[in-house]
Amino acid sequence: GAGVSQSPSNKVTEKGKDVELRCDPISGHTALYWYRQSLGQGLEFLIYFQGNSAPDKSGLPSDRFSAERTGGSVSTLTIQRTQQEDSAVYLCASSLARPSSYGYTFGSGTRLTVV
């Protein structure tokens, strides 16, 4: 598609359940990012994929969080044994390997609510 697509747009889950969030980046964009934004807060970096290189996982808050990117395209962020503090909007962005004058393109996010 023309933009970054994220699904689902909203997810309500019970505490302790696992969730999977999906990001479909712009075709040809080799860099893919996941961010998290809690209510009223700034964006918190989670993980970054660049081509076939090892991902930068330095922002993942705990070992309950993991992400993969298959075939250099679609990415899945998995949160195991969800906690209430995981409630946030999860944003995905993609870019060309080098930032262009068009910056980074974000998806509309997945709003996760853990009850």
Instruction: Select 56 or 74, whichever has its Cβ closest to another protein.
Output: 56
Taking the complex as a whole, the smallest distance from the CB of residue 85 to another protein amounts, in Å, to: 17
| Beta strands at 88-95 and 105-106: parallel, antiparallel or unpaired | antiparallel
34 Cβ partners below 8 Å, 6+ apart? 23, 46, 47, 48, 67, 75, 77, 90, 91, 92
Answer for which of 55, 56, 72, 76 binds another protein (CB under 8 A) is: 56
Interface ranges with another protein (CB under 8 A): 4, 31, 33, 35, 37, 39, 41-43, 45, 48, 50, 56, 89, 91, 93, 95, 97-99, 101-109, 111
